[in-house]
Structures are given as structure tokens and as C-alpha cells.
Amino acid sequence: MARFSEQDTTSIYKAAEKFRDECLRADRSLLFDGEAIWTPENLDALHQVFVDAPDESERSFLEKFKDQVQPAGKEVMRLAGEVVAVYFLFPSNVGGVRKKQVVREVLGWGGDELPDDHLVAQAFSRGIGSGGQGYNTRRPYELWFLIDFVIAWKKLSSEEREEALADPWKFQDRVDSQDGAENRQLRHMLLHLIFPDHFERIASGNHKWRVADAFKGLAPNDIDDQDQRIYAIRQKLEQLLPGKQLDFYWAPLDVAWYDSAEPADGLASADLIHHKKQIVLYGPPGTGKTFRAKRLGQQIVRSAALSQWGAAKFFQEQDRVRECVERNVHRLQLHPAYTYEDFVRGLHIGEGGATEYRLGFLPSLVKEMEAEGPERLPHVLILDEINRTDLSRMLGECFSLLEDRDQEIKLPAADEPMSLRIPPDLYVIGTMNLIDQSVEQIDFALRRRFLWLLCPFDAEAMLAALKGMWDQAAIRNIDWSRVEADFERLARAATALNREIRSSPLLGEQYEIGHTYFFDIVSFLRQQLGPGARARKYYLWGRRGPLPALERLWHLSLRPLLHEYLSGLEASAREAELGRLESAFFAVPKDDA
């Protein structure tokens, strides 16, 4: 079964069932029992004022949405609130407090409310899977898709509707008949909500492709549809791992395809590195580049083990998989003193004072790989902070071997000739801080031998990490739901601060503050709450402004960093810029909801 069971999501699936029975099967309401809300007439009216008349101004979504739907009358406003409620049922990357806040605001335009004890309000306290940042930024398009689908659905006969609601693949055909369905995340969410035992809780078409590709050996070759292939893969996995609750985002399945360090709707590092065999993760400090490089290296080894060994052996020998990962992922911390002699080959003083050539790290690693034989798993070399050494000099002759894999090159030496090659199953991952040296400053010929993947500030990754830290710390037994709204405001404040940094003529995007710099807030909040603290209404921002924990974060973690970035300025200019950035951070910008 593909139902999400890590948390109690019963209320979400019950709300989805109510949407199916009351709104799709009939024309009734998700929120107002006995009312006729999802009628063709109301849907057409909402389509006319919202879909046919898009507001492309720079205002927030809610400001524009209100002006569009409020003149259409109470029933259309109720339908608008219910459409937004359906939009929020699935995603876990929007907090329950925020979901209720938005739906209540929409309903409030018509004088309605959403009680805390309502099934949908209870469903909002949890989520099933992440939609990524893009799900919020593309909100109008997702809502347009839902409205278009239900309008087309209402044109079906009752027999056609019942036939589709009884067959997951026929329902899928109806959903996919809408233009642009393949580009809408709500397409995947809707399929899972209505048929959670057949469609995975995956809201990304790219993720589904990667799952189907990673486990392709488990599905019959004659199944073309991606969702049906994944369903067949799940059935086979349930046979291989009997009695185990399986989820493609959990171990042991996730390690074969998923990198949690990647943005939910970003490029897949694993796909990119297979294209060229070497990649550089670059960006501002504190954006998790080293962590992401390690995860990518582990994923390369694990996915190769799954492909070479087959699923049965892969899952039965997880201890061996872990050993291979530990042995095959290598990390070098580069620094100014690390040279060609360390990496390739250099002269050293041997016994008796004679000089001798000694292999550096790379040829020693290649020699180790060759000793493992042709059935070996790939190795991954992480070159951490490549900008801290003269990379072109360090690589030497290996410079050309990065492009001409499996070709040999002679290393110059008068008395000890030696050949070197880089095997095709050695992957190279570099990391680089933009603040230390820009991409443009690296030798062009060297740059073209790597793919370059930007790792920017990620508000969603920041929130997910803070939640994990909070849950692990179990601070004063205060549940995450109590502080969630404040941490979401912190994510918006951090986003606003970085926006100001990017646009600043004194700084720029390379000085963006990475999300890891904001993690100190958990320790500062623990100090603020004290030993006998109880749950309260405000944690980071109070009615009069920032509370102590947030002030400490600014003055002890963020301001000193920015002060250093601006150290070359005259004192008054530096203080003026710091004051401007402080105001932007503490202002808590309005969410574009």
C-alpha cells in the first residue's frame, strides 16, 4: 500500500474521501454539509473571474484572489475557499497553521469560517509529501488546473464518473486529459488522494521518472505508463521485502534514487553527474554543499549496487551496501598547501637519503580500484573547497584525463616512467564557495570539464532541518506545531534578508547567507524558554517586535558575518548597510500567499 503512514494521516484521507463523494460524485460541499457548492454553475462562475481573467499585478496571491472572487457572490467565494482547501490537503511543506490561515481568510470574505474541529482543519495539521517551493509560487496555475479538471469532470455522465471512480487507471486518464496535466504537481497529488493504494505520494514528475528508472528491473518492459510501472515495482518490492512498510522516500528504497539535500523541485544531481562524470556544487557558504556532495556520492554507489546486483541481493545485503558506500566514497579537504605532489606524484626523501617518486592520492586510488576487478562498484572522489588550492596545477596531466576517460597519459620522469588513467567509474564532485572565488576566475578549459550546479539558500531545506532539530531536542516538551508559524516567519525573514543582500550594490548574490547559519535559533530559543517554560503564543516575534532568541540570532550569528563581508567599507557606510539589512530581517515580510 502506498498510503503515507509515518504520521497519523487518517484525517487527510478522510477529507479526500469526502471530496470524492460530495464534490466529484455529487455537487455538494467539502466544508458546508448539505450545501450545493461544487455545481457546474459555480465552477463556471469561478472560472470566469479567476481563470479567464488572470491578475498579473505584483500584489500577493490573496490580494488578487479577493478582488477576483468577492464580486462573484457568496457561493463562488465558498467554492474558492474549498478549491484552496483541496490544494492544501496534500503538501507537507506548508504548515498547518498557514493552511488554516489562508483558507479562513478566503472564507472570511463571505462571512464564513473554518472551525478547528472540522475534518479539513484537522487534516491540515499534517501533510503527505512535499510540493517544493514551486508549488506555492505556481499556485494560480495549480488552482486553474483543478478548476478545469472538475469542470470537465462535471460534463461526464454519472455512469462515466462512477466508472472512473472505480478504476484508478481510468481516473488517471480523465485527469490527464486536461491540457498541461503533465506539468502540474496537483495532478500527482490528486491521483494519490483519490487512489492512495495505487499512486505513490510523489508530487514530482521528475521524482517518478527517477524511481521508475532506478527500479526498472522490477517492472515488465511492456508497461509504458510511468505510474503503472511504479505500481508494478511496488508490488514486486512488497514480495521481496514482506511485512515491511515501504515508501520510496524512506530507507531502504530512498538510498537508490533520492537525495534529500536536493531542492524538491530542483535538478537531480545524480542525473547530471552521470552525464559528465564530474560536477561542482557551488554557492554561498552555509548552503550544505559538502553535505549534498556526500549524499550524492553515497547515492551513486548505492544506485550502482542496485543495478549490478539486482533488487533481491541489494535489499538482502544492506550491510554490505553500507560497507561499499563507506569504502568507495572518498573526501579530500583541499587547502593552499595541497599540491600536485600530494595529488598525482612527487619526489620524496627515502631511506638512506635518496630521492624517490611516490604516488599521490589519485593514482593510489586508481590502483586500489583496479585491484577490485571488473565487477566493482564505482568510486566517488569529493574535492571539498576546490577554490582553496591552485586546481589546475594540482591536477597537472590529469587535467585532460577528466575528459578522456580510460585513456593513458605518460607522467614525466627520467628514471621511473609511469602511465596514469582515470577509469570511467570514478566520479569527481567538487564544492566551491562563491564568496572565496567566482566561477569565472577558474581556468576556462578546466571549467568546461565540469558541470556546475548552483546551491543557493533554500528556505524549505532550512525549515525541514529546523523541524528535525526541534523534534530531536524535544525542547520543554513543546510540540513543533506550537512554534511552526514562528519558524515559517523566520524562513520568510531569511528569504527577505537574502533578497536585500542580492540586490545590494555593496554585496551581491555571492554574499547570500546560507540556511545553516540560521540553525543557531534552536539553541537561542532553548535559552529563551528557560528550564520551566510552558507553551506560549509568541516565540520569535512578539507584538512589539523580535523576541530575545531572534535578536541573539541577528547579533551573534548574522550581523558578525555581514560585518565581516562589509569590512572594506568606511565605518558609517558599513553601519548604514547593516542597519538596512537588520530592518529587512526583523520586518517579517508578508507571505505571498
Q: Are residues 277 and 317 in the same domain?
A: yes
Q: What's the average model confidence in pLDDT over 133-145?
A: 90
> Comparing 37 with 484, which gets the higher pLDDT?
37
- In a domain, residue 531? The reply is yes
Q: Are residues 44 and 166 in the same domain?
A: yes
Q: Are residues 444 and 474 in the same domain?
A: no
Cell (9 digits) for 34: 448539505
Cell (9 digits) for 256: 537508490
Q: Are residues 90 and 118 in the same domain?
A: yes
Q: Are residues 474 and 439 in the same domain?
A: no
> Comparing 350 with 487, which gets the higher pLDDT?
487
Residue finishing a domain among 151, 170, 203: 203
Distance CA 280, CA 443 (A): 14
Q: Are residues 478 and 447 in the same domain?
A: no
- In a domain, residue 246? The reply is no
Q: Are residues 464 and 521 in the same domain?
A: yes
Q: In Å, how far are 308, 309, 327 from 301, measured between CA atoms?
A: 10, 12, 10
Number of domains in the chain: 3
Distance CA 346, CA 337 (A): 14
Q: Are residues 430 and 498 in the same domain?
A: no
Q: Note the pLDDT tens digit of each residue in 414-467.
A: 566 678 888 999 999 999 987 765 545 566 777 788 888 888 898 888 988 898
Distance CA 197, CA 231 (A): 9
Q: Note the pLDDT tens digit of each residue in 225-280.
A: 999 999 999 999 999 888 888 999 988 888 888 876 665 555 566 777 877 899 99
Q: Are residues 174 and 119 in the same domain?
A: yes
- In a domain, residue 238? The reply is no
Q: What pLDDT shows up at residue 255?
A: 80
Q: Are residues 418 and 499 in the same domain?
A: no
> Minimal CA–CA distance to 366: which of 357, 352, 376?
376
* Helix, strand, coil share of the chain (percent; to 5): 55, 10, 35
Q: Are residues 69 and 122 in the same domain?
A: yes
Domain carrying residue 568: 459-586
Q: What pLDDT shows up at residue 353?
A: 62
- In a domain, residue 229? The reply is no
Percentage with pLDDT > 70 across the chain: 92
Distance CA 34, CA 575 (A): 61
- In a domain, residue 242? The reply is no
Q: In Å, how far are 94, 138, 558, 585, 587 from 591, measured between CA atoms?
A: 12, 14, 22, 14, 12
Mean pLDDT lowest for which of 68-72, 102-106, 314-318? 314-318
Asked if the bond preceding 424 is cis, omega within 30° of 0, the reply is no
Residue finishing a domain among 415, 437, 454: 454
Q: Note the pLDDT tens digit of each residue in 344-381.
A: 887 666 676 666 677 889 989 999 999 998 889 999 99
Q: What pLDDT shows up at residue 375?
A: 87
- In a domain, residue 277? The reply is yes
Q: What pLDDT shows up at residue 341?
A: 86
Question: pTM above 0.75?
Answer: yes
Distance CA 477, CA 429 (A): 41
- In a domain, residue 258? The reply is no
Q: Note the pLDDT tens digit of each residue in 3-61.
A: 877 788 999 999 999 999 999 999 999 999 999 999 999 999 999 999 999 998 888 89
Residue finishing a domain among 153, 174, 203: 203
- In a domain, residue 240? The reply is no
Q: Note the pLDDT tens digit of each residue in 543-577.
A: 888 889 999 999 999 999 999 999 988 999 999 99
Distance CA 32, CA 78 (A): 9
Average pLDDT of the residues of the chain? 88
Q: Are residues 293 and 378 in the same domain?
A: yes
